[in-house]
Amino acid sequence: MTDFRRLTGMFLAAIGLTLSAPQTFAQQPDRGDEPGLIADDGYQLEPEWQKQVVYFRTTEAPGTIIVSTAERHLYLVQPGGRAIRYGIGVGRDGFQWQGLVTITNKKEWPDWVPPPEMIQRQPYLPRFMAGGPGNPLGARAMYLGTTVYRIHGTNRPDTIGTKVSSGCFRLVNNDVADLYNRVPVGTKVVIRQKPEL
């Protein structure tokens, strides 16, 4: 009888932990946004996420950006069936999107003003943060259409290749500065959730 009582107690405790887990997780900070953290510029990306020129078949014109959230790569289409491929961090589950937009603005060391929806989900975030090395937007930002989303740098290079953002696409600072210098305002950006066949 004592064993039965002990097992019943453990079972009820496990149920209690399971029921309280969603609230606990909801209060955990988003590890993808750490205001004030200075990026480790010596961080070495895995080869899969490093910038490289690759063969790339597309009907899009050279100069077009194609974001593949499924692959966690951003492609800048080049002439001759090639593209510059960058490793990126993408939106976590429930925050991924697709569409066709253009780059409507570009900023170096941008200020960060988290949108109200983000503040509601993560009330611990600052309401404003000046641009600089500790800013989660990193060294550069390219604004996508009229959305709240951007292609930007990061102070968390370890998040490249992962699904952690609230819908933006992040690159390491060296890569976002490289991309920034290659594309003008008005650049076409195609965001795809599934790879093309």
Residues involved in catalysis? 152, 168
For the chain, the straight-line distance linking the first and the last C-alpha, in angstroms and rounded, comes to 62
Rounded Cα gap, residues 151 and 86, in angstroms: 12
173: left (phi over 0), alpha (psi -120 to 50) or beta: alpha
Q: Is 77 helix (H, G, I), strand (E, B) or coil?
A: strand
Query: ∠ CA(26), CA(30), CA(34), 5° rounding?
Result: 145
Up-side HSE of residue 79: CA atoms within 13 Å toward CB? 0
- With CA atoms as reference, report the closest residue to 136 among 119, 116, 109, 154: 154
Count H helices, E strands: the chain? 3, 11
